[in-house]
Structure 1
């Protein structure tokens, strides 16, 4: 039997088998691809076996076992490290600012976030958004004006309560 015929006859079964071992369709495809690559490299020898498909299943088993071993090592390493320090809740100012930003048009909100939170220049924002420099400047100007209005009305609401 030639390799192409062998592949056509066995690939679906082997993929189902690998999926049963891993529970992950993407991982199963990777294992099967690697197993067939190894079979193709050794096809003269593998094709002479009484059951070449059994050899493929053995390769998939070993690759799957190696995968689980790597996952176990990563878990053990992660368990040995101290947990990250808890992150505190956002301050009241941050909550108010985010609430106010939600009131702005998306383009203004995006420009303000890129400029003030990520320190992007006007030219970088223009490139990222596919807009002109003048448009970005307009978004920033209008966004700051609208943000100031929303925040001042928020301040008035907080004073009343």
Structure 2
């Protein structure tokens, strides 16, 4: 019985065997590692129950195998849909203004970028942004003001550089 074994010891003693099994089953090492990680995560969340099973490793192996089967099933369904409907029209590449905006947004703090994206791109009110983030309304207003000011400077800077190279 494995109930006296801690999760860390269980993981260390079974990880290599499980990944080897999944790799042999899938032929894809990354998929095997992903499925194993998910299965161990589920086992850890239920360790008080799983550790009492006669063979906790079999439980983890079954969960991981099912995760791989779901992956294969989804892949098969994607191929079937592709064969039935073909691919959609390719998306046009982003315009210069979009690239400039995204580049500028990346230079803002995460907090400012979040406030601007939620307010201006998702059309949420300041109160809705505050409610969804759990941040006071005045803080959201400050982040929006600072973010807009920074974006204006960054976009003007990019435009100035573009004209200088023309």
TM-score in terms of structure 1 length:
0.56
Which residues in structure 2 correspond to 1:6-155 (within 5 Å)?
Answer: 8=54, 12=58, 19=65, 23-24=68-69, 71=77, 75=80, 78-155=82-159
Distance 1:86 1:26 in 2: 25
What is the count of residue pairs matched by the alignment? Answer: 109
Q: Counterpart of 2:143 in 1: which secondary structure?
A: helix
2:33 counterpart residue number: none
Deviation at 1:25, TM superposition (A): 8.8
Deviation at 1:99, TM superposition (A): 0.7
Distance 2:54 2:70 in 1: 19
Structure 2 portions without partners, runs of 5+: 1-52
Q: What RMSD over aligned residues (CA atoms) do the two structures have, in Å?
A: 3.6
1:45 counterpart residue number: none
Q: Which stretches of structure 1, 4 residues or longer, exceed 6 Å deviation after superposition?
A: none
Distance 1:19 1:101 in 2: 42
Q: What is the CA deviation profile of residues 107-134 of structure 1, one whole-angstrom value per residue up to 9, with x for unaligned ones?
A: 1111111111111111111012111111
Distance 1:98 1:88 in 2: 16
Find the structure with the greater CA-based Rg: 1
Deviation at 1:24, TM superposition (A): 4.2
Distance 1:156 1:87 in 2: 29
Deviation at 1:12, TM superposition (A): 3.3
Q: Counterpart of 1:119 in 2: which secondary structure?
A: coil
Q: Counterpart of 1:87 in 2: which secondary structure?
A: coil
